[in-house]
Structure 1
Amino acid sequence: MFQKIKLVECPRDAMQGLHDFIPTELKAEYINLLLQVGFHTMDFGSFVSPKAIPQLRDTEEVLGKLDLSNTKSKLLAIVANLRGVEDAVKHKAITYLGFPFSISETFQLRNTNSSINQSLNTVEEMLNLCDKNNKTAVVYLSMGFGNPYGDEWNVEIIEKWADELVKRGVKILSLADTTGVSTPEKIELILPALIKKFDQIEMGIHLHSTPYTRLEKIEAAYNAGCKRFDSALKGFGGCPMASDDLTGNMATEDLISFLQSKGENLNLNMEKWNEAMVLSSRVFSGN
């Protein structure tokens, strides 16, 4: 059903765990450049407590500085509770609201200060508000490849929660490797089964990785039939709520190179991409 490759660039995820605050003007300059590259979606910011993620306390200001007049990219913002949803849906420029739904009870409490069942209620309310405000929900199956807390994890648990979310009306799910514990073997075990079982749902993947294991994970996801990939330029970022040692994102340049080697026509402006690569040294310097 979903044949075209969709690339989701994630400057939000790249920035969120950095200690030194990136000036709002520089954030906007960087994202504006990325918007000209031609990605399907730009995961640009989040409407969460500034105490939890101080780096993104200026998301609303950044949004006001984005030039959306010459881009095909759609904006995605992360939310973690109903207040965040209510704040995000007010903005016409935002198309997607992303919610991290962890299948690890420990991490759901740590990440969103709510239980899995409470988060299921939040998803229901988010879907309702998305419908009323012409937005689309993207739900991440966080800790989808295991967790460091000793919480039970298996394929059946993943499928159970995916089923619960789909029943409630979620149309886009993204299997998220929050701490970088995915392997090609796990990806090959889990992803094809989910894609087959939920064939009317857009199924994506949000992997974290060390540089040494990126390509094998990308290849496993591609071979599994994945058409939606999250990544970040140079592999910056990771989840600051998961552990003290950040495991980076998939590097977009690795993903682009792999997909091009497979003959995929990504229709990207590589000149703007190269400009963004150069600017990134200013954005992420000192962090």
Structure 2
Amino acid sequence: MKLIECPRDAMQGLHNFIPTELKAAYISLLLQVGFDTIDFGSFVSPKAIPQLKDTTEVLAQLDLSNTTTKLLAIVANLRGVEEAVQHNAISYLGFPFSISETFQQRNTNSSIAQSLTTVEEMLNLCDKNQKTAVVYLSMGFGNPYGDEWNIEIVEKWAEELVSRGVKILSLADTTGVSTPEKIKTILPALIEKFKQTEIGIHLHSTPFTRLEKIEAAYNAGCKRFDSALKGFGGCPMATDDLTGNMATEDLISFFQSKGEDLNMDMKKWNEAMLLSSSVFAAN
């Protein structure tokens, strides 16, 4: 079971700037908890996401001396890829590939076709620099823009990406439109069809529907889950009202109830929970 903690997603839409030192202290603490990966920052335009303009500075201040957790950074174009691969401490580059044309333009200022080319270039640069690409199949459960969506479209784009060499594909629900029924239908089909590909899930949800979605994904055979402590965050490019992330504490509780061995340092986790109050206090 791989848990990916996403402080980047939790912070990115916040208006008040979180000091670099506080970000670094918080992420350094999360690195000691035992997550598989920390989605810690992004190499995107500061105009688009001003909160994360200090990702390089945060990275320089992280304590990586006592952790097996890997770092993931989000990129949205080739310039971001070229910048991210220069950092030895980063293992994964994440790219949001939307199957909604409207959202791909909003999120990356490029078309789906252009983004497919970016993915190919990213895969090439990742191979050359010993990185692994994680592609998020964004709007994977539908979209609020009226763009056509169905399961066949999801599978078509998954096939396109896997055929180009994507090894990790995360089905993303950017605006909280997923339902247990959709999860039960889509995830098993992808997991069955792409056996050599790691299929994960990046769900956004209101607190009232989190557990039923987690259970549906777990029962579908998913073993890679993105979440954020206390469910903070959401995508500022998607809608005016942010739909929060899955709350990590809900995932931990659910997996513990299922007898999954998460191998986590709960003392460090509780410390991170306490520190989060300071990190997100001004917002």
1:237 is matched with which residue: 233, 236, 254?
Answer: 233
Q: Which amino acid aligns with 2:232?
A: F
From 52, 65, 78, give the equivalent of 1:82. Answer: 78
Write the distance in 2 (CA, Å) between the matches of 1:107 and 1:128: 25
SS of residue paired to 1:203: strand
Q: What amino acid maps onto 2:125 in structure 1? A: L
- Secondary structure of the residue aligned to 1:140 is strand
Moved over 6 A (4+): none
- 2:115 aligned with 1:128, yes or no? no
Q: Which residue of 2 aligns with 1:60?
A: 56
Between the aligned partners of 2:188 and 2:13, the Cα distance in structure 1 is 31
Normalising by structure 1, we get a TM-score of 0.98
* Counterpart in the other structure of 1:220: 216
In 1, the alpha carbon distance for the partners of 2:64 and 2:194 equals 33
Q: Which residue, out of 192, 202, 207, partners 1:196?
A: 192
Question: What's the CA shift string for 1:25-70, capped at 9, x where partnerless?
Answer: 0000000000000000000000000000000000000000011110
Aligned residue pairs: how many? 283
Question: Is residue 112 of structure 1 aligned with residue 111 of structure 2?
Answer: no
Identity score, percent: 85
* Secondary structure of the structure 2 residue equivalent to 1:211: coil
1:1-287 map, 5 Å: 5-287=1-283
SS at 2:208's partner residue? helix
SS in 2 for 1:86: helix
What letter corresponds to residue 209 of structure 1 in structure 2? S
Q: What is the alpha-carbon distance in structure 2 between the residues aligned to residue 69 and residue 154 of structure 1?
A: 45
- In structure 2, what residue type is equivalent to 1:264? E
CA distance, structure 2, for counterparts of residue 158 and residue 182 of structure 1: 13
Q: What does the per-residue CA deviation read over 1:90-127, in whole Å, with 9 as the maximum and x for residues that have no partner?
A: 00000000000000000000100000000000000000
Q: Distance in 2 between matches of 1:163 and 1:224?
A: 19
Code of the residue aligned with 1:115 in structure 2: it is S
How far did residue 286 of structure 1 move? 1.7
In structure 2, runs of 5+ residues without a counterpart are none
SS in 1 for 2:209: helix
